[in-house]
Amino acid sequence: MRMKTAGLILLWLAALTAVAQTNQGWAVCRNPVRVFGARSTVNLTPLFQWWARQPLPTNAAAFTRANINTNSSADDDRPLAAWHRVTGTPVAATTAGNWIVDAVIYTSPTSRTNTRIVLNHPPALEEQNYYTLKTQLAEADQEIADARRIYEANTNAEQQADERVNMYRHSLSKVAPTGVNVYSREAQQKHDAAAVALNQQEQLEAARQQILNQLKTIPARGETYYIDWFAVMLGHTKTGQPIYDLGLVSPNPP
């Protein structure tokens, strides 16, 4: 049982190390169907397919400066030229439900520019889900640590009771049989309590892994939510800042 628990602890520590690193497991091309108004929808699948065929940059010097002030594209075969990959950190939310974002705008995997934008229909639910999951992860870590301490305390108590059993078995005292019985029962009780704690720890670690798997699908930098979505440039500005629209993610994608 001790060897099994040591292995679980090593896996738990490895998971802690992994989550502390930058989260880069999300899919850039996701949720292709966007809804605008009651009847207008856009399917970004052709753009996603085009994007996946493009070469990736080898280093920072491989990027060219994107021109976002046009709805045309330097790539003749690029579909949906007004749709750009928008990444960045929210600066503020407005009363209209928009976000001000210090963004990096990509018109292709190798063409980008930095600018502050207004983002309509921002991914507020995704951001909220990210921080909810982070809270759940912290709670799971604490519960796993508590279960591990209970397991170790009961395992140590079981060993001490076993030692007393052996001592009484080799004793010539008249109370030796009573001591053997008392400490044998105590050892069994501690063994059972340790088994319950270990089972709880295993269940908590399985739940924790599910939380980690969900977190991997959400853009983040360090411990902070990070926008990474395709959005359409509307072609006009607000207080000098270009306006982008994420659209509403369709609940029933094709």
Q: How far apart are the first and last CA of the chain?
A: 49
pLDDT in tens, 13-44: 333 333 333 345 799 999 999 999 877 999 99
Tokens of residue 69, six digits: 């002030």
Q: Exposed, middle or buried, 213 (CB in 10 Å: 0-12/13-18/19+)?
A: exposed
Q: Which of 42, 41, 40, 44 is nearest to 32 (CA)?
A: 44
Q: Which pairing describes strands 111-120 and 241-245: parallel, antiparallel, or unpaired?
A: parallel
- Residue 138: per-residue pLDDT: 97
Give the residue ranges of DSSP H helices in the chain. 2-20, 45-53, 124-169, 176-216
| Domains of the chain, residue spans | 2-20+134-216, 33-126+223-249
* Local structure of 61: helix, strand or coil: helix
Q: Is the pLDDT of residue 5 over 50?
A: no
Q: Is the pLDDT of residue 126 over 50?
A: yes
Lowest model confidence (mean pLDDT) among 51-55, 120-124, 171-175, 178-182? 171-175
Q: Is the pLDDT higher at 75 or at 91? A: 91
Percentage of the chain exceeding pLDDT 70: 87
Q: Is the pLDDT of residue 71 over 80?
A: no
What is the spatial distance between Cα 178 and Cα 172, in angstroms, rounded to a whole number?
Answer: 12
Mean pLDDT over all residues of the chain?
87
Average pLDDT of the segment spanning 97-116: 94
pLDDT in tens, 192-250: 999 999 999 999 999 999 999 999 999 999 899 999 999 999 999 888 999 999 999 87
Split at pLDDT 50, 70, 90, the class of 185 is very high
Block residue for tokens 């996701």: 30
Integer angstrom CA distances of residue 57 from 62, 63, 73, 95, 138:
5, 7, 18, 38, 36
Split at pLDDT 50, 70, 90, the class of 73 is low
